[in-house]
Amino acid sequence: MPETRTESESRKLLGRLRDALAEDSAGQARLDHVVNIIASSMQTEVCSIYLFRDEETLELCATEGLAPDAVHQTRMRLGEGLVGRVARKKRIINTANAPAAKGFRYMPETGEERFSSFCGVPIQRLGDVLGVLVVQSKAAREFTTDEVYALEVVAMVLAEMTELGAFVGEGAALSARHQQAVMFRGTVGQEGAVEGKVYLHEPRVVVTNPISDDPESEAKRLTEAVEALRVSVDDMLADATGGNSEQVQILEAYRMFANSKGWMKRMLEDVENGLSAEAAVEKEQSLARTRMSQATDAYLRERLHDLDDLSNRLLRILTGQGADTGAEMPENPVLIARNIGPGELLDYGKKLRGIVLEEGSVGSHAAIVARAWAIPLIINAKGITTEALNGDTILVDGDQGVAHLRPDETVKTAFRDKMAMQARAQQRYASIRDLPAETLDGTVVALHMNAGLMADLPSLEGSGAEGVGLFRTELQFLIRNQMPRRAELSALYSHVMNAAGGRRVAFRTLDIGSDKVLPYMKPQDEPNPAMGWRAIRVGLDKPGVLRMQIQALIRAANGRPLTLMFPFIAQLEEYDAARAEVDKALERERILGHPIPEKLEIGAMLETPSLAFAPDDFFNRVDFLSIGGNDLKQFFFAADRENERVRRRYDTLNVSFLNFLEMIAERCAASNTSLSFCGEDAGRPIEALCFAAIGFSMLSMRPASVGPVKHLLRRSNLHEVKSVIDKARAGGAQSVRPAVMEWLAQQS
Ligand code: PEP
Ligand code: MG
């Protein structure tokens, strides 16, 4: 074999490969042809392709030079032998003396003992390893940089071909990766089981032409596309300058990459060697993804993420596929996304049947929207965005946090049985819909629902809730692209009250900030937005919107009773100041001759521990208190509600938190202040049972939870539950959950 290879030889090899792949042979024959071409072009005795059969197993799928009988027989686990190590580490192994290399494992059936040198290159597409391409030779020598480069380019093309199912003929042993069933295990965001079709939030760009025979025109296309990319990044930067500094920083990094000479040079080299412009971009993107998965430094990971994003933009320019690839939304769409904000989710509306996110967090507002709509949601499903294709069948098991992509018939059947069972449970809840949540000891717990959109209101009838314990008014602000006007809001609130038909609706004034960012308001550059300028803090510092909202609510009530509450009150003075705004608004409306509410209740949300220790005066002055458990819990345990690593670390039924809630209930009872709990935990039956047992007589939850919570309350004696809790606390338990669960198990 010559020591150095010219670039045109690489190109010739790619040309021969392209011809072979264009032939009409069946999958296995085509694969055999490919290894034969590589071995002869590179003048090595052996060329083999190993592909994943499942997540953990690689199989020899084609070989030139090893024993033909070993094909589809020789298998190795991920990490096993040199091939397994290439796949696991996503790194090339190039050695003159394979038997002496770390991790070598001898596979007698292949007859490979005769070959001393070994070079294995991962076949990967966008950071996912599909298999390993190996060349071996008898002569003990390392393969040259040029040879390794040629192998990398070929591996890239193979990855594309495997991707497209180009090797797969009728009955071929090899199956394309994107046709296989895959299961993803994530975290439960919202329970429920649905069957649907994949709809990608950001569809992947499909590269259909990895090889080119006209490097000059490809280089021109690439150069023009990169130029267009640079212009678009400059434009974005010009738009963002003066705004959010984080965004500007990201764009600066984009610009740096877009102008990187090294990046451009490597891509042009690949094009020169026979790759199409798109494949050259993808090759770089694959490398960045591999590094991303291996980088331990968070900053570096972020930058590689930027490069990944930039590559996607470049691919869209090259292929002419915009963010919207024109894919039609299928029937029963299941949205697949890396992450999604509440505004984007609201844009989709209720038509989604399920949502699976690669990242995301249960405490986010997007998750809250999904729960409000009772759309099954799984988060942290690693790898789903690269695996799923538009239109794939998917089963979302929100109860287990599992998604089955392209499931086989057995899984589908079992899943459909489960859905039927759930439908029967729903019927059971429907049968108690009009009955009170009265426990066996005669305590009646008021169950209300959380809402935020007009579309939620019909659930009031269906769920059996007595009223709306929390109306998140910010959702109306989030779904618009400009600030709603007073008349618009007033009409909307009036509709809500009409739809509630006289039942109480607790309107919470605008709670923005943290992860609820209005697209038309200048974002704040804050190191820690959850503890930053949000909710009532914004309302009091810039009272224009708060005043407008209060006025809209008074006008909507048009003389009817009105209930409103302020979010995130941390001290008495904030409540007084907010209430003073209501008094002023009432006075103005009176002067203008508008009717004022016949009854007005003004409450506060207890979301920071400080408020639990407020002076008695506060408890005497406030008309009611509602615990925003999502925020309260995150501040009580100092555990970010959006950070999956810490969010579930502390149980809601941890005795410290339960004691704290009980203390609040006792202070409210002593001052005769009505109290409710409206965080997500109120909708979890066991949590709800414990809250009721320690003195909460009103709970507000998503509509779908009213049935299950009522069902459990009606079967329970709160005195007994309270004594189980007390006993667990006296016994030094960290959480009362195990004791309550055990008691429940004895009941049934
Ligand atoms: C809460 O914090 O529990 C709450 C109900 O408010 P949000 O989830 O909208 O912050
Ligand atoms: Mg809150």
**Is the CB of 603 within 6 Å of ligand 1?**
no
What pLDDT is attached to residue 82?
A: 93
Distance 627 CA to ligand 1 centre (A): 9
pLDDT digits (tens, 9 = 90+) for 248-282: 666 777 788 888 888 899 999 999 888 899 999 98
Are 576 and 620 contained in the same domain? yes
Please answer whether residues 691 and 660 qualify as being in contact, where contact means their C-beta atoms are separated by less than 8 angstroms: no
**Is the CB of 451 within 6 Å of ligand 1?**
no
In the 8-state DSSP scheme, what is residue 45? S
Paired residues of 58 in beta bridges = 52, 76
d(CA 564, CA 622): 11
CATH code: domain of residue 132: 3.30.450.40
d(CA 475, CA 485): 15
Res 246 pLDDT > 70 = no
Q: Which has more confidence, 203 or 636?
A: 636
Ligand 1 atom nearest 630 alpha carbon = 3
Phi-psi region of 531 (alpha: psi -120 to 50; beta: other; left: phi over 0): alpha
**Is the CB of 642 within 6 Å of ligand 1?**
no
Domain region containing 115? 9-172
- When mean pLDDT is compared across 341-355, 422-436, 653-667, the lowest value belongs to 341-355
Residue 740, in any domain of the structure: yes
Catalytic residue among 365, 404, 448, 668: 365
Residue 347, in any domain of the structure: yes
d(CA 245, CA 417): 52
Q: Residue for token digits 């709990």?
A: 677
Residue 2, in any domain of the structure: no
The fraction of the chain above a pLDDT of 70, given in percent, is 90
Determine whether 365 is an active site residue. yes
Please answer whether residues 176 and 165 qualify as being in contact, where contact means their C-beta atoms are separated by less than 8 angstroms: yes
**Is the CB of 630 within 6 Å of ligand 1?**
yes
What pLDDT is attached to residue 2?
A: 41
Residue 209, in any domain of the structure: no
What pLDDT is attached to residue 499?
A: 92
Are 162 and 134 contained in the same domain? yes
**Is the CB of 539 within 6 Å of ligand 1?**
no
Of the candidates 669, 636, 668, 674, the one whose C-alpha atom is nearest the C-alpha of residue 652 is: 636
Length of the chain measured in residues: 748
d(CA 223, CA 265): 10
Are 518 and 665 contained in the same domain? yes
- Encode burial over 215-229: b for 16+ CB neighbours within 10 A, e otherwise: beebbebbeebbeeb
Of the candidates 328, 356, 333, 329, the one whose C-alpha atom is nearest the C-alpha of residue 197 is: 333
What pLDDT is attached to residue 613?
A: 98
Helices (H) and strands (E) in the chain, counts: 28, 23
Kind of pairing, strands 75-77 and 57-64? antiparallel
pLDDT digits (tens, 9 = 90+) for 89-146: 889 999 999 988 888 888 888 887 788 999 999 988 767 788 899 999 998 888 988 8
Listed residues 385, 417, 449: the one ending a domain:
417
Please answer whether residues 28 and 174 qualify as being in contact, where contact means their C-beta atoms are separated by less than 8 angstroms: yes
- When mean pLDDT is compared across 318-322, 429-433, 441-445, the lowest value belongs to 318-322
454 contacts: CB under 8 Å, gap ≥ 6: 492, 495, 496, 499
Q: What is the mean pLDDT of the chain?
A: 87
Both structure tokens of 416: 């459909």
Ligand 1 atom nearest 474 alpha carbon = 9
**Is the CB of 452 within 6 Å of ligand 1?**
no
CATH code: domain of residue 411: 3.50.30.10
d(CA 326, CA 320): 12
Please answer whether residues 671 and 615 qualify as being in contact, where contact means their C-beta atoms are separated by less than 8 angstroms: no
pLDDT digits (tens, 9 = 90+) for 670-715: 999 999 999 999 999 999 999 999 999 999 998 889 999 999 999 9
What pLDDT is attached to residue 169?
A: 31
What pLDDT is attached to residue 637?
A: 97
Are 311 and 335 contained in the same domain? no
CA atoms within 13 A on the CB side of 288: 22
Long-range contacts of 637-645, Cβ-Cβ distance < 8 Å, separation of 24 or more: 640/363, 640/530, 641/361, 641/362, 641/363, 641/364, 641/530, 642/361, 642/363, 642/364, 642/515, 642/530, 643/361, 644/187, 644/361, 644/362, 644/379, 644/380
d(CA 537, CA 521): 15
Please state the domain count of the chain.
4
What pLDDT is attached to residue 168?
A: 33
**Is the CB of 368 within 6 Å of ligand 1?**
yes
Burial of 412 (0-12, 13-18, 19+ CB in 10 A): middle
d(CA 154, CA 21): 12
Q: Ligand 1: which of 364, 606, 678 to mutate, judged by most atoms within 8 Å of the beta carbon?
A: 678
Using pLDDT thresholds of 50, 70 and 90, give the confidence band for residue 204. Answer: low
- Other beta carbons within 10 angstroms of residue 516's beta carbon come to 22
What three-state secondary structure class fits 137? Answer: strand
Rg (CA), the chain: 31
pLDDT digits (tens, 9 = 90+) for 131-190: 899 999 998 888 988 888 888 888 888 887 654 344 433 323 333 456 678 899 998 888
Both structure tokens of 262: 């090294």
Are 156 and 65 contained in the same domain? yes
Are 514 and 649 contained in the same domain? yes
**Is the CB of 151 within 6 Å of ligand 1?**
no
Amino acid at 374: A
Residue 731, in any domain of the structure: yes
What pLDDT is attached to residue 476?
A: 82
d(CA 157, CA 212): 11
Res 558 pLDDT > 70 = yes
Are 490 and 397 contained in the same domain? no
d(CA 465, CA 459): 8
Please answer whether residues 122 and 91 qualify as being in contact, where contact means their C-beta atoms are separated by less than 8 angstroms: yes
Determine the average pLDDT of the residues in 611-620: 98
Both structure tokens of 455: 């579309």
Are 690 and 627 contained in the same domain? yes
Q: Ligand 1: which of 448, 475, 631 to mutate, judged by most atoms within 8 Å of the beta carbon?
A: 631
Q: Ligand 1: which of 470, 476, 607 to mutate, judged by most atoms within 8 Å of the beta carbon?
A: 607
What pLDDT is attached to residue 225?
A: 94
What pLDDT is attached to residue 129?
A: 82
Both structure tokens of 327: 């894919």
Of the candidates 370, 190, 215, 197, the one whose C-alpha atom is nearest the C-alpha of residue 280 is: 215
**Most confidently modeled of 4-8, 476-480, 743-747?**
743-747
Residue 194, in any domain of the structure: yes
Determine whether 47 is an active site residue. no
Are 394 and 482 contained in the same domain? no
Are 694 and 556 contained in the same domain? yes
Nearest ligand by distance to the CA of 474: 1
Please answer whether residues 13 and 47 qualify as being in contact, where contact means their C-beta atoms are separated by less than 8 angstroms: no
Ligand 1 atom nearest 607 alpha carbon = 2
What three-state secondary structure class fits 195? Answer: strand
**Is the CB of 510 within 6 Å of ligand 1?**
no
Res 668 pLDDT > 60 = yes
What pLDDT is attached to residue 419?
A: 85
Please answer whether residues 689 and 721 qualify as being in contact, where contact means their C-beta atoms are separated by less than 8 angstroms: yes
Amino acid at 487: A
Q: Order across the sheet with 393-397: list the strands.
A: 182-185, 402-405, 393-397, 193-200, 333-337, 354-357, 377-379, 187-190
Distance 265 CA to ligand 1 centre (A): 51
Residue 430, in any domain of the structure: no
Res 587 pLDDT > 80 = yes
Please answer whether residues 535 and 568 qualify as being in contact, where contact means their C-beta atoms are separated by less than 8 angstroms: yes
Q: Ligand 1: which of 361, 531, 605, 676 to mutate, judged by most atoms within 8 Å of the beta carbon?
A: 605
Please answer whether residues 157 and 134 qualify as being in contact, where contact means their C-beta atoms are separated by less than 8 angstroms: no
Please answer whether residues 461 and 713 qualify as being in contact, where contact means their C-beta atoms are separated by less than 8 angstroms: no
735 contacts: CB under 8 Å, gap ≥ 6: 651, 653, 654, 655
Catalytic residue among 47, 119, 668, 678: 678
Both structure tokens of 42: 């590179």
Distance 537 CA to ligand 2 centre (A): 13
Are 681 and 718 contained in the same domain? yes
Distance 380 CA to ligand 1 centre (A): 22
d(CA 678, CA 682): 6
Strand runs (DSSP E) across 201-280, as ranges? none
Ligand 1, atom 9, lies closest to the CA of 472
CATH code: domain of residue 698: 3.20.20.60
Residue 426, in any domain of the structure: no
- Other beta carbons within 10 angstroms of residue 409's beta carbon come to 7
Strand runs (DSSP E) across 599-659, as ranges? 600-606, 624-627
Ligand 1 atom nearest 368 alpha carbon = 8
Please answer whether residues 471 and 489 qualify as being in contact, where contact means their C-beta atoms are separated by less than 8 angstroms: no
Distance 726 CA to ligand 1 centre (A): 28
Ligand 1 atom nearest 628 alpha carbon = 3
Please answer whether residues 552 and 564 qualify as being in contact, where contact means their C-beta atoms are separated by less than 8 angstroms: no
Q: Which has more confidence, 573 or 418?
A: 573
CATH code: domain of residue 291: 1.10.274.10
Residue 641 φ then ψ, to 5°: -65, -15
Listed residues 359, 384, 417: the one ending a domain:
417
The fraction of the chain above a pLDDT of 90, given in percent, is 50
d(CA 179, CA 285): 23
Alpha-carbon distances of 111 from 46, 65, 99, 104, 105, rounded to whole Å: 11, 9, 13, 14, 12
Please answer whether residues 444 and 695 qualify as being in contact, where contact means their C-beta atoms are separated by less than 8 angstroms: no
Q: Residue for token digits 């298999």?
A: 131
Ligand 1, atom 6, lies closest to the CA of 628
**Is the CB of 470 within 6 Å of ligand 1?**
yes
**Is the CB of 678 within 6 Å of ligand 1?**
yes
pLDDT digits (tens, 9 = 90+) for 483-522: 999 999 999 999 999 999 999 999 999 999 887 778 777 7
d(CA 195, CA 353): 8
- Other beta carbons within 10 angstroms of residue 429's beta carbon come to 18
Are 116 and 19 contained in the same domain? yes
**Is the CB of 511 within 6 Å of ligand 1?**
yes
Burial of 272 (0-12, 13-18, 19+ CB in 10 A): middle
